[in-house]
Copies of this chain bind each other. A is one copy, B any other.
């Protein structure tokens, strides 16, 4: 790791710089696929699947039989694990279902908001060697709790035209309504514009490679919403003297194994601790299959010694990591100082992997500094809140004069008129002036 000791605040920005994302060069290719699918529908989707996924698919939708077969191909052990994870994720996310009744801002003026599910949502799950079924739980469970009418899933098929059984099992369990064997830009295009077999959706969720990311960015111009801006996964660990170097090293490696672009940061109270963690990294690296990736990532990562804990928290808030582990006895005190982070893990027994899979929190989180502004996925990501108001004539009379004065001062006389026509001949109630809510 690259060492820094109590760096000056003016250097934080360069020490913590993230790799810049450059998607512009992919745009022409991606735009072309989007256009072809928009115009050519299923035929174009199949053509691109043949080209990129090297598979020829007749029926894009996964059949009920295939889903049933998949279930028998997943070990009972893994099914049990997926069920337990789903149960915890469901418990945690259930608490996010918004409630909120009407209120009277003044007598006769009733205002409220109602949470309404986004009707149609699309989930994208990348293919490749490792099937990310955990992400299906993280997206489909809150979508189901929100009450989305249609929850579709697209994932690229193998060359045999199949999806991984664990993907199908998790999707079924979490409430996905339709599953399609389509990946890449053609999947994003199909969900954005609709084809004869794939329904158009209003919002697209889920990770993907740089082409998928670019496609998600571009379809926004056509009014399709997306979950979160993309960026490589990140973990920052704060460790003080109470930390176990072995645990800290394991956490850093679990982040580092994700991919060559993973971001890892260690902030430690002492130089000694940094050295101990590095020794542990060396030791543990040997034991993991993805050691090459993990080593490349940890080698280029920063380890910052910060003698002052408040300054350390300031630096971490400045960085705004996706994941933050506070490896210390006083983790709850420190937690109150966290202002910018996606998901925070407290104490010595909360590894990031607990939240990645099974504790119940969501693992789809803001990266690339967006934690300053955005939260991870929740039930709220699948609803919007509509405002309602109902006024009695008397209620309107209470704010009539206010509306008229403000509208006229803004030069909007027809706004005032909409009140006037309703209050013509109305005699204000005696409590009009002094009545207070």
Contacts and interface: CB of A to CB of B under 8 A. Distances in A.
A216 to B, nearest CB: 14
A338 interface: yes
B250 A373 contact: no
B349 A392 contact: yes
A391 B359 contact: yes
A331 B392 CA distance: 13
A91 B105 contact: yes
A412 interface: yes
A132 B410 contact: yes
A416 B77 contact: no
Q: Within the oligomer, what is the number of copies of this chain?
A: 2
A17 interface: no
Using C-beta atoms within 8 Å of the partner chain, give the interface range for chain A: 35 or more
Contacts of A65: none
Contact of A92 (B95, B105, B349): B105
Given A130-B412, A290-B414, A418-B254, A354 B403 contact: yes
23 contacts: A91-B103, A116-B339, A118-B373, A223-B370, A246-B421, A250-B418, A250-B421, A253-B417, A254-B412, A289-B413, A294-B414, A343-B386, A345-B388, A345-B390, A349-B396, A351-B396, A353-B419, A354-B391, A355-B387, A356-B403, A357-B403, A361-B389, A372-B384
Interface of A: 77-78, 80-82, 84-85, 87-88, 91-92, 95-96, 100, 103, 105-106, 109, 111, 113, 116, 118-119, 129-134, 166, 202-203, 223, 225, 246-247, 250-251, 253-254, 256-258, 284, 287-290, 294, 331-332, 335, 338-362, 365-366, 368-376, 378, 380, 384-393, 395-396, 399, 401-403, 405-407, 409-422, 437
